[in-house]
Chain A
């Protein structure tokens, strides 16, 4: 079974500041990990994914995440926040060979960006 914990349901940063959204996962088999973003009244858009290749994954809109097996973490970062980054972010896990790729999501982190 897989699970995801996102630390912090709300994160607030100033425009231009570092964004750090935390995600820890639990999986009995090697995981695939994803970050999705959801803007108000919209569906989920994939930011980036880890699929057992490079541990540092670069995504869209300047986001990146690092897979750390020893810490079972996949934190999302962006060096400089922009107002347009304000949204809800979801970390998700799926596992190779089980459940045909269903995604298990964390509870989400709402990112607020102040001018």
Chain B
């Protein structure tokens, strides 16, 4: 158990819908990272927050957004969902802003029908 929690574990929804994925980092960790794992794209970095502020952006679509709240939990919002958004979404946390060991949550499996 990494100490990072993600909810829900599974999410099945339809095209065009909007979903919210939630992540709670390890106690004391200030950085939260979001990654997407799909068969065709592999593991890709989406976005990072540090202590409530956005720090780095990767290949995140405009339909996707995230935020980190004062209690340090983070949410990833995916809207206007398409079939190709079906993937595993991982959250990871680390103590600092960069190059620290990242601890991964169990992931949320999103299926868009």
Residues in chain A within 8 A of chain B (CB atoms): 32, 34, 36, 42-46, 49, 51, 90, 94, 96-97, 99-108
> Which chain A residue lies CB-closest to B47?
A102
Contact call B98/A43, Cβ cutoff below 8 A: no
New contact pairs (5) apart from A90-B43, A101-B99, CB-CB < 8 Å: A96-B99, A99-B56, A100-B55, A100-B98, A102-B45
Q: B residues engaging A (CB < 8 A)?
A: 2, 4, 31, 33, 35, 42-45, 48, 50, 55-56, 58, 90, 92, 94, 96-107
Residues on the A chain within 8 Å of B35, using CB: 103
Residue among B4, B31, B33, B102 having the largest count of chain A Cβ atoms under 10 Å: B102
Secondary structure at the B interface, as helix, strand, loop or mixed, is: strand
Given contacts A42-B106, A43-B90, A45-B2, contact A102 B33 (CB under 8 A): yes
Known contacts A43-B90, A90-B43; A96/B101 CB under 8 A: no
Report 5 cross-chain contacts, Cβ distance below 8 Å, ordered by A residue. A34-B101, A42-B106, A44-B104, A45-B104, A103-B92
